Structure 1
């Protein structure tokens, strides 16, 4: 039997605020609400670092972050209020692009007997792509909610969701996924 979880990835205020689509957050919010109604666990994945960012020093991508970014107390690091977690939902902190990198996500999922991941998040070419690839290597079944993801480059988003992701995942829309839960 398949046990699914909805991953809500990098929907932190500083990241969501960079997306020009004002209609973005209602889509993952609908997925979260539907998952909760159907009893599908919702797992939030966030990027987070210690004060001083000691874990970023070797990373060309993350070492350039401003001091204090994505640390406790950074208002931009909080999960966007449109998709805020409930107190009983897991929040996993990662240290790199993939939701699995530097986190205990695999332990949380395996502890819940989860074998199917439904992916939503920002950005399609970042956390979604990296998580999909690593999750496939870890033998998870995968679904990507294409309109529950977003990218600064719409063409990159289109190529990934239309051509790359279908090789390893079912790609659908938030509304189609919700309809399948009923």
Structure 2
């Protein structure tokens, strides 16, 4: 039996303002991964990006931050920062709020993972070239065992997604489809 109590499925940036840019069928792999994690006692942790009213966390030298400050709508209470209904958390599943691209930046994710004694992260999210890439790099530097569910990562640029999941991510993580991951859970 795999040691699922040491693993966590990270559902990153599947919040209304980001997930709504994609078709509902694009979110099916995330839904399947969440269902499989719950059935196999793998912790599901949600990560979103959101800021306080007035954006005191955003430095105008940061181009992403400058755009958010200019256009607004990413406060912690805003509809755009709430987890998308299609992947709604169950009670007890943490929602981590981050302040930059990586799931670790400005969040309490590391404390939660350490408290739960998690050593393996299964990464999913939007965008492959944003939160998934940044979190993968930081998690690897923190010595987590990593898996990436390639079809549960979305990016506005399909070529960038392909290069990352085929050439970059395999250097630091096991990259597999959601179905292959689900099958591996039952194979042990």
TM range (shorter): over 0.9
SS in 2 for 1:63: helix
Q: TM-score, normalised by structure 2?
A: 0.92
Instruction: Say whether residues 1:115 and 2:119 are aligned partners.
Output: yes
Alignment of 1:7-26 (within 5 A): 7-19=10-22, 21-26=23-28
2:58 pairs with 56, 59, 66, which one?
56
Give the one of 105, 112, 127 matched to 2:131: 127
Q: Which residue of 2 aligns with 1:30?
A: 32
1:69 has 2:97 as partner:
no
Is the CA contact 1:28–1:148 (under 8 Å) kept in the aligned structure 2? yes
Residue 155 of structure 1, CA deviation: 0.2
Aligned counterparts of 1:153 and 1:42: Cα–Cα separation in 2: 27
For structure 1, the 5+ residue unaligned runs are: none
151-160 vs 21-30, which moves further:
21-30
Q: Describe the superposition over 1:96-144 as per-residue Cα deviations: whole angstroms up to 9, x where unpaired.
A: 0000000110110011000000000000000000000000000000000
Aligned residue for 1:126, secondary structure, equals helix
C-alpha distance in 2 between matches for 1:88 and 1:45: 14
Structure 2 distance, partners of 1:98, 1:38, is 26
3-state SS in 2 of match to 1:54 = coil
Classify the secondary structure of the residue corresponding to 1:18: coil
TM (norm. structure 1) is: 0.95
SS at structure 1 position matched to 2:51: coil
Structure 2 counterpart of 1:106: 110
Aligned residues: 181
Identify which range, 54-63 or 98-107, moves more after superposition.
54-63
User: Mind listing any 5+ residue stretches in structure 2 that lack a counterpart?
Assistant: none
**Between structures 1 and 2, the one with greater helix share:** 2
Deviation at 1:62, TM superposition (A): 1.7
RMSD in angstroms over aligned alpha carbons? 1.3
| Correspondence for 2:162 among 158, 162, 167 | 158
The alpha carbon displacement at 1:68 in A equals: 4.2
SS for the counterpart of 1:25 is helix
